[in-house]
Structure 1
Amino acid sequence: MGVRVTVGTREANDAAIALISEHTRRGLSPAAEATVTRLREALHRAWPEHTDPVLGISRYALLTPGKLLRPLLLAAAAGAVGGAVERVVPAALAVEYLHVGSLVHDDVIDGDDTRRGKPSVQHRFGVPDAIATGDALMLRTFGSVAECVQRGVPEAAALAAVREISAAGVDVCRGQALEGAMAADPDRPLADYLAMIALKTGALFRGACRAGALLGGAAPEVVDAIGRYADHLGLAFQMHDDLLPYLSDSATAGKSALSDLRNLRPTYPVLLAHETGTAEQRARVAAALSGTLPPEQAYPQLRDVLDETGAVKRAVEHAEAEVALAKSYLDGLGPNQHTAVLAEVADLSVDRRR
């Protein structure tokens, strides 16, 4: 007999959806909110309660108060080029499966106990089931994209979207490996770090946007423009994500502010501080990332250096510049509610308090 893994009663789930919707209303425009609501409802229908452990744990991982950012990007990209959003909903959910599956594996690699404000999969269910669940979610991705054909998307477009999402998944893995190689090394150039986050974070943004444009029937030059938008969006998003431990509490960040330090991971503001700091300040950064200090002691030391060098302020400015670049690639698209959503997502990427 399988182990029953559920996320609570139907009433509890409905209450959770209502709470999420209220949170979303405070941050998104009506057009973006309507798309997110449609996607969230489709996600709940696709993952009913199940006695199978892997399917039940997948439901636990997926049905959390995430913003469904990548699915929203795919749906908005399709709509921005004149496609029917309803036809691409399965593909939009597919990029969430790939994203969440990679997060489940990330938490195993990093040993993180919290994800999106609740116990991570590996912490609650154990490492073996977490690995199996992450695998299952990522494999579900491609079947879900194929479902778009049943909704009227041409087979050639669906195949092209599969290629884009598959390539993005490989790039995410490449970025993960590069990030591991940079551990405890604040001497790495910022260019190396930017190349890494373009893979680890930006690739799935790019894959979602390009796939959405392809599914929506866009011409190659339009697909490329939306891809460039996503490239700069990904950089802005990760730069700001790196700033969250120094701008907000763990409830806002969704994970411990000490996670990066615990894993000896240099992040964008830290590398900025090391690059521009004095020899004494660089030595303090290196000591904080050496693993010789407990994270609880290393964190205030590192924060002091970031304050002294102005690295946090400059990192914010750099993230905002990437947002402006991202939005510039939308100028050639016809103005409609979906193009406006893409611009809105870019602005929200550096203001996640809403």
Structure 2
Amino acid sequence: MTTTTAFALADPELSARLTERLGTVEARLREAVATTDLLVGATSTHLVSAGGKRLRPLLTLLTAELGDPDRSQVIDGAVVVELTHLASLYHDDVMDDAPLRRGAPAAHEVWGNSIAILTGDLLFARASQVVAHLGQPALTLQADTFVRLCMGQMHETVGPATGEDPVEHYLQVLADKTASLIATSAQFGAMLSGCSPEVVATVGRFGELIGLAFQLADDVLDLTSDGSLSGKTPGTDLREGVPTMPVLLLRARAAGPDATDEDRAAVALLDSDLSDDDRLAAAVATLGRHPVVEETRQRAVAVARAAVAELAPLPDGPVKESLVQFADALVDRAA
């Protein structure tokens, strides 16, 4: 597999260096899931072989450029965050009953829910094996991230408490379930390359906000793309009743004093039986045209700009410029 950076970098030397190192990460990922057990080998390599943009390891490699990127621990950190991400996808697809992932049948569609969940657990364990050699700070960061990933999934499953603002609840779910690992990806690169605690904290704040913007952009893509960018079948979240920002904003509008007939009709469609493919397609099209989608996109842009503002303490140069490009590229997907 030829591995390239997920977006164009203005600095060709940096781009070439990161592309080469991403190739090393790819090889190490395959080593980490390699086994002589035929069943475990097939299930563990299922998503690794499906590819992906490798945004999290790329961010690790990029922030490592702020220190000594040649330290061997940097590659290990990049492998850890991608293994953790892949593990979470196995679990997410079971929770969401998603039929496809990255254009291929989801693991639970091939081997069943139990094997898919156990494969996710195994990849989390593989990530733990790698991070165990990276020192106490990295081990603590990974453990804290794992806690947030689990909490985010639990809170998403249970939903907001009585009287809790559904939008604020959703943003906290995104922070834990998505942004936490992207923040950790940025922190690992700086930490394992020997940067100061101040730099580690700076890129962590950047990563947290970028993770939030990334998921808000995905909410837009779920309604406006063919699935090639998000890796999910369009409307999957709608069919499974998973709340997304456009849906929450629409419900708030429909319940307000200025609700229109269009708002109420759209909510009624969302609350109908979306197991029917034609009705699901109608719901996706209706919501995709609604102003709440543009409002969600604007929220993603605003959060991405806040992330870029966090980079102010970093020295000017190709690494900082590339982090800004990284932020722009994640949000531009939903343009």
Instruction: Tell me, yes or no, whether TM beats 0.5.
Output: yes
Query: Does residue 307 in structure 1 map to residue 284 in structure 2?
Result: no
Q: Share of identical aligned residues, percent?
A: 31
Match of 2:48 among 62, 66, 75: 62
Task: Show the counterpart of 1:339.
Answer: 320
**In 2, Cα distance between the equivalents of 1:191 and 1:302?**
24
Are 1:160 and 2:141 matched, yes or no?
no
Which letter maps to 1:125? W
Is 1:269 the counterpart of 2:246? The answer is: yes
User: Among 90, 93, 103, which residue is 1:107 paired with?
Assistant: 93
Assess if the C-alpha contact under 8 Å between 2:74 and 2:188 holds in 1: no
The alignment's C-alpha RMSD in Å is 2.7
Is the aligned partner of 1:217 residue 2:194?
yes
Match of 2:8 among 12, 24, 28: 28
Matched position secondary structure for 2:132: helix
**1:260 and 1:219 mapped to 2: Cα distance?**
40
Partner residue in 2 for 1:80: 66
Alignment of 1:169-188 (within 5 A): 169-182=146-159, 188=165
SS of 1:349's partner is: helix
Aligned twin of 2:169 = 192
Supply the distance in 2 between the matched residues of 1:57 and 1:294 (Cα, whole angstroms).
Answer: 28
Q: Deviations over 1:106-135 (max 9, x none)?
A: 111221121111111111122222122111
Contact persistence 1:75–1:212 (CA under 8 A): yes
Correspondence 1:290 to 2:267: no
- Equivalent in the alignment of 1:9: none
Q: CA deviation at 1:306?
A: 5.1
User: 1:293 offset after TM fit, Å?
Assistant: 4.2
- 8 Å CA contact 1:330–1:339 kept in 2: the answer is yes
Q: For structure 1, which segment, 204-213 or 49-58, has the greater mean C-alpha deviation from structure 2 after superposition?
A: 49-58
Is 1:329 aligned to 2:310, yes or no?
yes
Check conservation: 2:5, 2:58, Cα contact below 8 A.
no
Say if 2:223 and 2:284, in contact at 8 Å, map to a contact too: no
Question: Aligned equivalents of 1:336 and 1:87: distance in 2?
Answer: 24
Residues 6 and 53 in structure 2, CA contact (< 8 A), matched pair in contact too? no
Displacement after TM superposition at 1:201 (Å)? 0.7
Deviations 1:134-190 (A, max 9, x none): 111001112112344xxxxxxxxx21111111111111111111111239x9x9532
Of residues 317, 328, 336 in structure 1, which corresponds to 2:298? 317
Q: What is the aligned partner in structure 1 of residue 105 from structure 2? A: 119
In the alignment, which residue of structure 2 is the partner of 1:4? none
How far off is 1:45 after superposition?
Answer: 4.1
Deviations 1:228-282 (A, max 9, x none): 1011101110000011122210233312112101211121122223333516445
Letter in 2 for 1:332: P
Q: Which amino acid aligns with 1:242?
A: D
Q: Deviations over 1:193-245 (max 9, x none)?
A: 11111111111111222232222222222222111101110111000001112
Partner of 1:240: 217
The 8 Å contact of residues 174 and 212 in structure 2, kept in 1 or not, is answered as: yes
TM-score (norm 2): 0.86
Aligned residues of 2:7 and 2:326 also touching (Cα < 8 A): no
Unaligned runs of 5+ in 2: none
Residue ranges of structure 1 left out of the alignment (5+ in a row)? 1-16, 149-157
Q: Secondary structure at the match of 1:350?
A: helix
Work out the CA distance in 2 between the residues paired with 1:282 and 1:50. 55
Aligned-partner Cα distance in 2 for 1:25–1:281: 42
Letter in 2 for 1:265: V
Amino acid at match of 1:27: F
Match of residue 141, structure 1, among 108, 127, 141: 127
Which residue in the other structure is 1:132 paired with? 118
TM-score, structure 1 normalization: 0.82
Q: Please say if residues 54 and 132 of structure 1, whose CA atoms lie closer than 8 Å, have aligned partners that are also in contact.
A: no
| Mean CA deviation greater in 212-221 or 233-242 | 212-221
Give, in whole Å, the separation in 2 of the partners of 1:135 and 1:293.
31
For 2:276 and 2:157, the matched residues in 1 are separated by 18
Tell me, yes or no, if structure 1 residue 250 matches structure 2 residue 227.
Answer: yes
1:295–1:223 Cα change, 3 Å: farther
What is the deviation of 1:82?
4.1
Give 3-state SS (helix, strand or coil) of 1:236's partner: helix
